[in-house]
Amino acid sequence: MEEGIITAIRVVPLEHYVLLSFLLFSIGAAGVVFRRNTIIILMCLELMFNSVNLLLTAFSAHHSDPCAQVFVFFIMLVAAAEVTVGLSILVMMKRNVDSVDVNQLNRLKG
């Protein structure tokens, strides 16, 4: 079964994975940079994580090297932790400035 998945992954050429990951990552990055809603920003961050995960998995399958999959697990773990922190910040932000617009947090303006 394992072999089946790997074969399935290998059906699609590596370049396509790279391209897809690049697109997903760019969408995520653009969202982080240009959106003002904090919830969207957090979601875009997840998108970026997962684009990287996808890339790692694809490389792993194509090169028959399981090491990269270990990284993916780590990233998923860290992402889970990061989401809890991010969401608590979001709650605190809502309580303090009564908004989820990141541009309300501009007290560090020089």
Partner 1 sequence: MNLDLLAALVPALPLAGAVILASLRRKLSANGAGGLATAIMAVAFACSILLFMGFDAATGGRTVKLLDWIHVGGMEIPLALRIDALSLTMMLIVTGIGSLIHLYSIGYMHEDERAPTFFAQLNLFSFAMLMLVMGSNFLITFIGWEGVGLCSYLLIGFWYKTPEYNYAARKAFVMNRIGDVGMVLAMVLLFQRFGTLEYATIMDAATGFNDPMMIAATLFLFIGATGKSAQIPLFTWLPDAMAGPTPVSALIHAATMVTAGIFLTVRSSVLFELAPFTQDIILWVGTATALIAASIGLFQNDIKKVLAYSTVSQLGYMFVALGLGSYSAAMFHVTTHAFFKALLFLGAGSVIHALGGEQDIRKMGGLKGHIKITFITFFIGTIAISGLPLMSGFFSKDLIMAFAFEHSPALFALLLIGALMTTFYMFRLLFLVFYGAYRGNAHPHESPLSMTLPLMVLAVLSVVGGVLNLPHLFGGHEAMKHFLMSAADGISNESLELSHTTEWTLMGITTALVAVIIYVAYGRFAQQATLEGNEAEMPFFKRLIAQRWRVDELYRALFERPYTWMSANLFSIAEQRVMVPIMTGVGAAANALGDGFRRLQTGYVSFHMLAMLGGLILFLIITLMSN
What residue ranges bind partner 1 (CB under 8 A)? 29, 32-36, 102-103, 105-110
Alpha carbons 49 and 25: distance in angstroms, whole number: 8
Minimum distance of partner 1 from residue 1's CB (angstroms): 38
Closer residue to partner 1 in complex, CB, 47/61:
47
Residue pair 20/54 in contact by the 8 Å Cβ criterion: yes
Q: Report phi then psi at 101, rounded to 5.
A: -85, 120
CB closer to partner 1, 8 vs 92: 92
* Secondary structure (3-state) at 5: helix
Least distance (Å) from partner 1 to the CB of residue 25? 11
